[in-house]
Amino acid sequence: MKKEFSSNWKSSKQPRKQRKYRYNAPLHIKRKFMGIHLSKDLKKKYSKRNLIAKKGDTVKVVRGQFKGKIGKIEKVDIKKERIYMVGLEITKKDGTKTKYPINPSNLILTDLTLEDKKRMVSLKRK
C-alpha cells in the first residue's frame, strides 16, 4: 500500500484505509476534522450544524470522564486532532497535573468567539 497521502483512501470501505486517510492527511485537511457540533440555540441562530473549533470558544463535554463540564478552549492541536480546555487536568501518579486532550467529536459548542473576521463572514453567508 502507498505510504504518501492519497484522497482515494477516503472513499474506501476498509477501516484501515479510513484510519490511514485521517492519520496521513495534510494539515489543511486535518483542520476540517476539528469541527464541533453547535448547541441547539446556536444551530437555530446561525443555520449551521457545526463549526471549526477556535481558541476562546466555550464548549461542553458530552462524553468521557469529564462529561458535563463546561469551559473555554485553551489550545487546538490540529496535528494530533485534540482540543485542550481550561480547567480539565488529570493528576498523574507522581502528583503532577497535565492537560487532558479531548476529541472534538465529544464536545458541543455553546458559545462562540466572534473576533475573527473570516468566521463572521462564514456565519453570515447563509
Cell numbers linked to 32:
476540517
Strands of the sheet containing 70-77, edge to edge, are: 50-52, 35-38, 107-111, 58-61, 70-77, 82-91, 97-102
CATH 2.30.30.30 at 36-124, yes or no: yes
Greater model confidence, 70 or 22: 70
Greater model confidence, 73 or 1: 73
DSSP state of 82: E
pLDDT band at 126 (very low <50, low <70, confident <90, very high): low
Query: What are the C-alpha distances in Å from 72 to residues 6, 17, 37, 54, 65?
Result: 35, 34, 15, 10, 17
Of the candidates 54, 68, 55, 66, the residue with the CA atom closest to the CA atom of residue 101: 66
Of the candidates 58, 59, 13, 32, the residue with the CA atom closest to the CA atom of residue 122: 32
Domain residue ranges in the chain: 36-124
- Span 86-107, pLDDT tens digits: 999 999 999 999 999 999 999 9
Q: What is the mean pLDDT of residues 22-34?
A: 92
Q: Which pLDDT belongs to residue 123?
A: 84
Q: State the residue for C-alpha cell 507522581.
A: 94
pLDDT band at 119 (very low <50, low <70, confident <90, very high): confident
C-alpha dihedral sign at 121, 58, 63, 42: negative
Whether the predicted pLDDT of 7 surpasses 90? no
